[in-house]
Amino acid sequence: MEIDLDQLISSVEDSTDEVLDRVAAAALLKDRFEQMADDLLDHFVGQARAEGRSWTQIGEALGVTRQAAQQRHGGLLDRLVARLKEGRFRRFTPRARTAVIEAQSAAQDRHHGYIGTEHVLLGLFAEGDENIAVRALDRLGVDRATVERLIDARVPPGPGDAPVKGHIPFTPRAKAVLERAFTEALALGHNYIGTEHILLGLHRIEDGIAAQVLADQEVGYDELRSTIVELLVGKGPPPG
């Protein structure tokens, strides 16, 4: 299997004629490939664990110690959150990092043992109306109270006497949202991942709870995207 460099160069060149924009697009693709490589390895480590292989065996296959293998691949969410807190997701704005981290808190608050697209949507509201995603939703008539009510109608909170602790996994759809955020950023010609890109990613995963909530409020993708672009016009550094 081989990734064709010429095809990648062509795709970046086709996206813009501005040389610095091409540099930014290439940097974003680089980060995307690094994340994909991690996800690829995580997939097969998870497969090995599901088939009963020990962390010692997996460590040997990776050329590291058992402890290193377990720490590196034992918890996707823990690793993701650690990356966000450490700033290792260089292309995520601080507010986008906060939104992803707060998705975990939203799941815990609702006594859910997983992080779904609905929790990521709630995470966007963590800083009030300080980010582009929430400002776009507000302009389209969507507020947090409405979002919470619509989420409750689909997935009510779990039993209050059963607190959720430890590792909380992302659902495949929630992971797909974060992946889609990269694509949305590239399509807008941005070299960062902000809350607006996460929101667009949420809309794109149409079978997720978040997308259903947005559909309930008659928020279309094109309308959402154009609203975000309007809010970004005249802005300087990545707004979040």
State which H helix or E strand residue 235 sits in: none
**pLDDT higher for 3 or 9?**
9
Task: Please list the helix, strand and coil fractions of the chain in percent, rounded to the nearest 5, in that order.
Answer: 70, 0, 30
In a domain, 120, yes or no: yes
Structure tokens that stand for 142 in this block? 């969507």
Structure tokens at 175: 């992971």
Highest mean pLDDT among 5-19, 22-36, 166-180, 198-212 belongs to 198-212
What sign does the dihedral 157-158-161-164 (CA atoms) show?
negative
pLDDT band at 73 (very low <50, low <70, confident <90, very high): low
Write out the two tokens for 48: 């090995």
In this structure, is residue 32 part of a structural domain?
Answer: no
Does some domain include residue 180?
Answer: yes
Examine residue 82 and state whether it is found in any structural domain, yes or no: no
212 lies in some domain: yes
Cα separation, 34 vs 111, whole angstroms: 32
- Whether residue 36 is contained in a domain is answered as no
Q: Is residue 47 over pLDDT 60?
A: yes
Domain span including residue 225? 91-240
pLDDT-derived band at 182 (thresholds 50, 70, 90) equals confident
Number of domain units in the chain: 1
Q: Say which CATH number the domain at 159 has.
A: 1.10.1780.10
What confidence tens digit (pLDDT) does each residue in 112-159 have? 988 999 999 999 998 777 799 999 999 999 999 999 999 999 999 887
Q: Return d(Cα 232, Cα 191) in angstroms, integer.
A: 14
Tell me the pTM.
0.68
Q: Do 165 and 109 meet the contact criterion of CB atoms below 8 Å apart?
A: no
C-alpha Rg value of the chain to the nearest Å: 19
22 in a domain, yes or no? Answer: no
Question: Cα separation of 140 and 126, whole Å?
Answer: 19
CA dist 27 and 25 (Å) reads 5
pLDDT at 89 over 70: no
Instruction: Report the alpha-carbon distance of residue 165 to residue 9 in Å, rounded.
Output: 45
235 lies in some domain: yes
Closest CA to 157 of 208, 122, 106, 202: 106
Contact 95, 123 (CB under 8 A): no
> Greater confidence, 34 or 198?
198
Residue listed under structure tokens 């599901």? 50
